[in-house]
């Protein structure tokens, strides 16, 4: 079963201090205007990055990695597992349909609305004007003004105005996620429409200037008129949606079966340079299936045409069927420039017994990555150690230089071992047997130190005689491989005398329990970091730890807070880099997640009816962004009976 390796223009971009991607791109620095213009210290630009460096000049014609002459037409279809009962993705209620946020645009474009990567995808940390054509701000970044494109329209033909921007900003503060509202309202003091196409945001004094301009520039913009006419709320589960201004519109849906998005033929932004060669499919369809097995079988028959594979067993052994043998379906491995997502078994630190780090260390020792990877995952993965794996922010040996200076400046917040020892690495386990006796003996010692001992019947109890119980919920929409991985981890926990079990529950219940942090341990993820920003407080900070959906452990650490703050206030790129390395070090020291695995490439499979550029960018797979439909090849496969 051959697998094609696809080249990238940039194999990896580990640090963002250097923003350029391809040597052929011009480097543009947004400079202060001259004193004669009366705006000394003011910056005006067609895009934004924190240090002002932009790879694409104001008159760029298209992004370097796209085919500007890609034909329009055809359809791409993907799968989703489980159910959906809402088309509003901005609420905690219900289970939103896939891509239901994709119809909405923002002042700056920083991510591909259909969810397949960054925009632009060849550089990191840069945003270009979308609804806004110009960004204006002082060097101090105390405020920002966006000058909007007057031609921008919602899909119902009504104009997108500065009033809609202000309305949307306030709507998220009033009815959005509490952790978001709490964080943003403390940093963004005011939003006002200066006229129909000019909007200004003022920021709080004496705080980091990080994640301010890009934050307000990335908020989805809704139609104020629609919300006022319908009385709809952002925090409710509903199937009706407000009109968006993006290239795709919701066409139709059948609850729990299918969602179809159709390209808007009257999309206002078709002629923008950043849109050339993009948004090429007439239709994007999502097919829903009860579980992973049903979804894979449907893919084999062409019921949907693109698949991002995350099941190692399937990748290793499942792609052996006639469509592959006949060349009707192909597999690719796309290298990625992102630090891998920090996946693993996450401890709920709200559980009293899990607040003892010795208990967490003991439980972690029951996880055998080496055996799991070799036996259940065909040896296809590497073990993740870092929250910035493979980047220059990954901490390895003892701290030194600027990182050591920063940690020492934090005084008693920093344990001595952080200053003198190498960064925490995952333990090693036997590859030959699931139960590693050495690790389990060490786990028992740690548990005894924490006040947990095994009684005569083999049950682990504390001094009050209570048995340690651990439940790990697993979604029924997941793969059989994930079930096996969790089950074998549970077996090792049981060998320690723990009443451990994994509970397979339906996808909607799993989503609800995750949102309400109703678990002891859950397989989940934290977003890896490749830069600093106030989003780090959403993921790892104490202030919103109790309510943040992005912090499934509920981590709350004064030390972590202090290092995040240091990264936000870093005066130079070198200071920022040192702070991010320190952040990786202290997060690993906290041990709130048992690191699982990572893949240094993206596995994709698709029916041979698509084309994409030979040199793909590092920060997007791009299947719903800059791929295009091969009508001739599709007609061939239809004529042969391979596709219906």
| Domains of the chain from N-terminus onward | 342-598 (3.10.105.10)
Residue 25 has pLDDT above 70, yes or no: no
- pLDDT value, residue 178: 86
CA dihedral (261, 265, 269, 271) positive or negative? positive
Residue 39 has pLDDT above 90, yes or no: no
CA-based nearest residue to 489, from 446, 429, 444: 429
Contact (CB, 8 A) for 47 and 126: yes
Cα 189 to Cα 196, 211, 598: the distances in Å are 21, 14, 40
Cα 413 to Cα 360, 398, 408, 560: the distances in Å are 21, 17, 9, 9
Share of the chain above pLDDT 70, in %: 93
Average pLDDT over residues 224-241: 95
What pLDDT, in 10s, does the model give residues 328-349? 999 999 988 889 999 999 999 9
- Report the b/e string of 583-597 with b at 16+ CB within 10 A: bbbbbbbbbbbbbbb
- pLDDT value, residue 4: 55
- pLDDT value, residue 1: 53
What pLDDT, in 10s, does the model give residues 112-166? 666 667 899 999 889 999 999 999 999 999 999 999 999 999 999 999 999 999 9
- pLDDT value, residue 2: 53
Residue 29 has pLDDT above 60, yes or no: no
Arithmetic mean of pLDDT over the chain: 91
Strand partners, 138: 42
- pLDDT value, residue 53: 87
Phi, psi of 453 (to 5 degrees): -130, 155
Q: CA-CA distance, 106 to 510, in Å (whole number)?
A: 31
Pairing between β-strand 4-5 and β-strand 329-335 as defined by DSSP bridges: parallel
Q: CA-CA distance, 515 to 496, in Å (whole number)?
A: 29
């Amino acid at each position: 079963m051959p697998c094609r390796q696809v080249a990238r223009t940039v194999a990896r971009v580990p640090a963002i201090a250097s923003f350029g991607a391809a040597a052929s791109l011009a480097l543009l620095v947004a400079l202060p205007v001259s004193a004669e213009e009366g705006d000394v210290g003011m910056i005006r630009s067609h895009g934004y990055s924190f240090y002002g460096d932009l790879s694409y000049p104001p008159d760029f014609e298209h992004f370097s990695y796209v085919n500007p002459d890609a034909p329009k037409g055809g359809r791409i279809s993907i799968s989703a597992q489980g159910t959906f009962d809402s088309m509003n993705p901005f609420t905690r209620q219900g289970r939103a349909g896939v891509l239901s946020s994709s119809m909405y645009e923002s002042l700056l474009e920083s991510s591909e609305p259909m969810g397949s990567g960054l925009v632009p995808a060849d550089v990191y940390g840069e945003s270009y004007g979308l609804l806004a054509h110009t960004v204006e701000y002082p060097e101090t970044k105390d405020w920002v003004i966006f000058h909007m494109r007057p031609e921008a329209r919602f899909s119902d033909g009504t104009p997108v105005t500065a009033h809609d921007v202000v309305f949307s900003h306030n709507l998220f503060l009033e009815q959005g996620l509490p952790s978001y509202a709490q964080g943003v309202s403390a940093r963004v003091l005011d939003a006002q429409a200066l006229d129909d196409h000019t909007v200004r945001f003022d920021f709080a004094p004496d705080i980091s200037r990080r994640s301010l301009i890009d934050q307000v520039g990335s908020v989805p913009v809704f139609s104020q008129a629609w919300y006022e006419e319908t009385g709809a709320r952002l925090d409710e589960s509903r199937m009706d949606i407000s009109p968006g201004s993006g290239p795709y519109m919701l066409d139709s849906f059948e609850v729990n079966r299918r969602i179809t998005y159709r390209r808007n033929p009257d999309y206002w932004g078709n002629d923008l340079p950043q849109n050339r060669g993009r948004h090429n499919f007439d239709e994007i369809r999502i097919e829903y299936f009860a579980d992973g097995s049903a979804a894979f079988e449907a893919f084999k028959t062409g019921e949907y045409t693109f698949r991002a594979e995350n099941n190692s067993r399937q990748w290793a052994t499942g792609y052996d069927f006639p469509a592959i043998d006949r060349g009707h379906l192909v597999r690719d491995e796309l290298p990625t420039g992102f630090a891998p997502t920090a996946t693993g078994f996450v401890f709920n630190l709200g559980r009293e017994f899990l607040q003892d780090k010795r208990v967490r260390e003991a439980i972690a020792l029951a996880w055998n990555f080496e055996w799991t990877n070799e036996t259940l995952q065909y040896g296809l993965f590497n073990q993740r150690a870092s929250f910035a794996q493979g980047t220059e922010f990954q901490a390895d040996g003892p701290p030194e230089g600027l990182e050591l200076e920063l940690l020492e400046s934090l005084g008693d917040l920093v344990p001595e071992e952080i200053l003198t020892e190498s960064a925490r690495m995952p333990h090693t386990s036997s590859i030959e047997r699931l139960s590693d006796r050495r690790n389990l003996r060490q786990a028992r010692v740690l548990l005894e130190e924490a006040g947990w001992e095994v009684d005569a019947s083999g049950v682990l109890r504390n001094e009050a005689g209570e048995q340690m119980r651990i439940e790990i919920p697993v979604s029924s929409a997941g793969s059989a491989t994930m079930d096996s991985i969790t089950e074998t981890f549970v077996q090792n926990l049981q060998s320690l005398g723990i009443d451990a079990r994994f509970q397979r529950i339906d996808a909607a219940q799993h989503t609800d329990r995750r949102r309400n942090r109703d678990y002891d341990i859950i397989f989940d993820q934290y977003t890896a970091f490749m830069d600093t920003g106030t989003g780090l407080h959403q993921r790892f900070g104490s202030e919103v730890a109790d309510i943040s959906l992005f912090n499934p452990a509920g981590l709350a650490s004064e030390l972590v807070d202090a290092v995040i703050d240091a990264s936000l206030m870093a005066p130079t790129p070198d200071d920022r880099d040192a702070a991010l390395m320190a952040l990786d070090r202290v997060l690993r020291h906290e041990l709130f997640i048992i690191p699982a695995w990572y893949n240094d490439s993206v596995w994709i499979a698709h029916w041979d009816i698509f084309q994409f550029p030979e040199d793909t960018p590092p920060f997007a797979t791009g299947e719903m962004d800059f791929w295009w439909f091969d009508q001739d090849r599709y007609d061939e496969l239809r004529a042969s009976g391979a596709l219906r």
